[in-house]
Amino acid sequence: MPDTLDLALDQVARGQRVPYLGPGIAALTPGLPATPAALCALIESEVRVPRRVSGNLWCAAQFVESRRFRATLDAILRRAFAGTPAPNPVQRWLADVRPPLIVDTWYDTGLIRAFAETGAGWGRVQGISRQAIATETWFAAFDAAGTRLAAANPAWHTLIYKPHGMVQAGSDVLISDSDYVEVLTEIDIQSPIPPEVQARRTGRPFLFLGARFDDQMLRIFARQIAKRSAPGHIAVLETPLTRMEALFVRELGITVLDLPLSEVVARIAARAASASDALTAAG
C-alpha cells in the first residue's frame, strides 16, 4: 500500500491525478471543525434545533436559516472558522507542486492561504448560493488577488475548486437545504460544475484525501465531480467502511488504502527531506 500511495502522490505532483480534499484535511489544522457532524454540533451549541434534524448539518443549517435568518447562520460559521491558522502540511505541499486542478470540499481557507504565499498563476472557482440572486449563475471565479472574474482562466497553472464555497468575508457557502435544492436538480447534467473543472478532470483519476462517503450529500458531489474523469481512483480511507461507503467505492472503482492521513503527511515530509538532501549534495 505505501508503494501505491507514493505512486499516487507522484502522479499528483506531475499533474496526472486530481487531489480531492475532504473535511478530514481540516483535522490537520488544530481548532477547525473537521467533519460535517462536528460543524453541526457547533451550530447546535448556539441554536437549539428539533430532534428530527439534530446531527444533520444541512437540515440543521436550514432550521437556523429559516428561524433565525441567514445572517445568524453566517455569523455562526464565521465563528466556527475564525482565526487564520497556518496552512497544514498537505495544503502547503499542494501549493508547492501546483497540480492543474485541486478539489477542496470543506469550508476552510487553508488551501487558499497556502497558495497566496506562492504568488500569481492560480485562481479559484467556488459554488455560490442562488437564493439571493436572479441569474443562472452556479459558481463564481476569482484570481489570486481575490478579484472576481467572469470565468476561470484556462491559463492558470492551478485551479482550486471549492464546490461548497468557503467561510470568508465577502465569500459565500452552500450549506442549507435551500442552498442545495436547485444544485441537486441540475448536478446530474453537470450544469453546476464549472466548465474549466470539467476540462481539467478529463483524462485524470482522483486521489481522495480526508474524504468520507457516509453522507448522501457528499457522495452526490463526489460522484458528479468525478464523472467523465479517468478510471483508477484512489482513496486514503481508514476502515471499517459503512455499508453505503462500501457500495460507493465499488460503484466508482475506488482503490481504498486503509491508512491514516498521518501517513500521507509523513510521506510528504519524507519527500521534502529527500529533495533537500539532493540539493545539498548537488551544491
Q: What is the DSSP string of 40-58?
A: HHHHHHHS---TTTTT-HH
**Per-residue model confidence (pLDDT) at position 135:** 64
Clarify whether residues 48 and 173 are in a common domain: no
Clarify whether residues 51 and 148 are in a common domain: no
Clarify whether residues 86 and 75 are in a common domain: no
258's grid cell? 486503509
Mean pLDDT of the chain: 93
Clarify whether residues 145 and 252 are in a common domain: yes
| Structural domain boundaries enclosing 97 | 2-32+82-282
**Per-residue model confidence (pLDDT) at position 18:** 98
HSE of 117, CA atoms in CB hemisphere, 13 A:
13
**Least confidently predicted of 16-25, 75-84, 105-114, 138-147:** 75-84
Of 97, 89, 98, 102, the closest CA to residue 18 belongs to: 102
Q: What is the pLDDT of residues 150-183, one digit of tens each?
A: 999 999 999 999 999 999 877 789 999 999 998 9
**Per-residue model confidence (pLDDT) at position 271:** 87
Euclidean distance between CA atoms 184 and 214, whole angstroms: 18
Clarify whether residues 56 and 136 are in a common domain: no
Q: Go through 179-210 and write b for each residue having 16 or more CB atoms within 10 A of its CB, e for each that does not.
A: bbebbbeebeeeebbbebbeebbeebbbbbbb
Clarify whether residues 71 and 206 are in a common domain: no
Clarify whether residues 148 and 260 are in a common domain: yes
Clarify whether residues 125 and 51 are in a common domain: no
The pTM assigned to this predicted structure is 0.95
Clarify whether residues 206 and 70 are in a common domain: no
Q: What is the pLDDT of residues 122-139, one digit of tens each?
A: 999 999 987 756 567 899
Of 4, 71, 12, the closest CA to residue 255 belongs to: 4
For the beta sheet containing 139-143, the strands, ordered from the edge strand earlier in sequence to the opposite edge, are 148-149, 139-143, 122-127, 158-162, 101-104, 18-21, 206-209, 234-236, 255-257
Clarify whether residues 10 and 143 are in a common domain: yes
